[in-house]
Amino acid sequence: STHRLVVLTAGKMTNLSICGFSKILKASLTYLNMLRTVT
């Protein structure tokens, strides 16, 4: 049961990191587009 708990936690952490990475990617792309529009 302890092993299953670890796997679940690892899965949640991976999902969070993927979500966070995609958010950061979208934010940086938006920022780059803004810079491109200003210059």
From residue 39, how far is each of 4, 7, 13 by CA, in Å? 52, 48, 39
What pLDDT sits at residue 1? 63
What is the total residue count of the chain? 39
- Ranges of beta strands (E only) in the chain are none
Contacts of the segment 16-21: beta carbons below 8 A, 24+ positions apart: none
- The pLDDT tens digits of the residues spanning 10-23 come to 777 777 788 888 99
**Predicted TM-score of the model (pTM):** 0.55
Query: What is the distance in angstroms between the CA of the first residue and the CA of the last residue of the chain?
Result: 57
Higher pLDDT: 38 or 15? It is 38
What pLDDT sits at residue 20? 85
* Alpha helical stretches, state H, the chain: 2-38
Average pLDDT in the 4-13 region? Answer: 75
